[in-house]
Structure 1
Amino acid sequence: MENLFSLFNPKWALEEYRPQILAYYYKQWIDFHMGFHAHQTIEIMYVISGTCTVVARDQTIAMRKGDLIMLDSGVEHRLSVDGNPCRMLNVEFVFAECGGSYPSLGQLAAGSPALRQLLDRGEPYIVLRDPSDVYHTLKNLVTELDTGSGEHTMMANLLISQLLIRVARLAAEDRKGNSVRQIDRYVRKAADYIHQHYDADIQTRDIAAAVNLHPVYLQRIFKASMSMTMTEYLSELRIEKAKMLLARTDVPIIEIADYIGLNSRQYFSAMFKKHTGLSPATYRKSRETVHGFDNQVAIVDIR
């Protein structure tokens, strides 16, 4: 189906158009499986209670209370509810000429960076988790539409504009959160790689290659997240491993450098003293007990 009223058509913001509700309904579904279909309208489906799945563009989206999905015009989808009831509130809207009475989409976007960002996304559907702001606006909108008088019609048109802005803000916050979570995943993956290969001669470029990022960018996000560079993180990890070997094993000191991925014993001794204030030999002696080694030494996990 042609997406005649796509949210992402620049015409709506460049000319005098406003969002207009064409349909709305509450519905409780029980053990229901809808066939694939599409609307010329833009549709917002909000889960009030229960759970369901929506299939759109070959993606299956599990939804529960407080979730909403906004489907662009012309996007094929279907709803499935297995067993227990799922109560939903749906609204469908298009764009109509303003006639000078209501704020246009262009005016709304000019005053809302989040809405401008939403109009540029061009995605067939957007799934969001609502803290309750969108639902309150939806309920107020439906109440005004149910009344149907002139004044209530004006309020309904203002509320659909408010609804779009609330959805846009939620989408902007969600995208920002996703970006932060993605950065966290890259940093965690880099840290995991360091823990797995600290006993080898690894360089920043090796870590960056393992997480498929440019070394400079990875260095920047790693330091911002961990408050230290990857080199510093690797050094601290190696020192902790060396301390464990000195305190809990009888591995000769001259061999410990090899165990933690350092080629130079002199460099190991200098680095160890820089971090602990003690030479490796002095540290080992300080950890000795009448039983040979102090089994109470803690291994610090700095992952």
Structure 2
Amino acid sequence: MEQRVYYVPGPGGVEGLPTALSMFYNTPLVMLAPHWHAQVEVNYIVRGWAHYRMSGHQVRFEAGDLVLFWGGLPHMLDDCSDDLIYAGGHLPLVHFFRLRLSQSVQTALMRGAALVSKASDASDALNFERWSRYVRSGDPMKAGMAIDELLLRIERIRFDPYVLLPQNEDALPVSGGIDHHTSPIVVRICDFIADNFREDIDSTDIAAAADVHPKYAMNVFKKSTGMTLNDYVSLMRLSYAQALLMQDEVNVLQVAMDSGFGSLSAFNKCFRKTTGMSPTDFRRDTRTRPEPAGLKQLHMQARYN
């Protein structure tokens, strides 16, 4: 009998680059510990089944399920069928904020819910395989097309039945093997930041919401996620600002204020440090990138509907 190989995440760190898109189409390894990544995870179960331990609940995804959940809370693939093939990606927050999802769904996801749609077909497997190839091709135009098509596919979920898990009656407690990663303190911190990052908040406000001392909140969060509280809040604000900058006729100062930066100078400094360019340059580069055929018309229709 072939011995199962496991994946062990690195100790206490948000994996990968939070602003980088990664996509996959493969057979995953069962995990021995939870991990975090500051992106939204998209899963499509091509074949077999996958069992996840999320923050505070468990869920099993079956073949044909299309799933969306926030990877910034601890989660782990703790069991799966031998024939599991899954596809999907880690979607940076900038693209998540571009999605035309209802505010209630967006909030539920950021609080740890998983959105599951069973309204899929064979074309999804083909599309996810192609998107993965495009993103890994090194061709910026192919990668851009993959992102745009993926976002449109996710938005189509709203036209079909879907569920948000856990539902109250189905929620299952997660026991064992997750230690400090599921600390209620860290979960309360993430909830508060998700709801309030566009406001003028600091570590004192965040700690008060979690009912702990600010220094303790900073230490627990850093140990659990590998990020400081300030870095995490800045990431949320920056990603939201990037999504706003992709819209037409936006004022950079207003974007800075609406994203929670408090001043244009603070916004410019954070933006340049993270992206290597100014907000104005980012907006210009985004607007000059060729759009896939038909997408511009869709954007115009959405603007006037």
| Higher RCO structure, 1 or 2 (CA under 8 Å, sep 6+) | 2
Indicate the TM-score class for this superposition, using the shorter chain for normalisation.
0.3 to 0.5
What is the TM-score with the length of structure 2 in the denominator?
0.36
What is the TM-score with the length of structure 1 in the denominator?
0.36
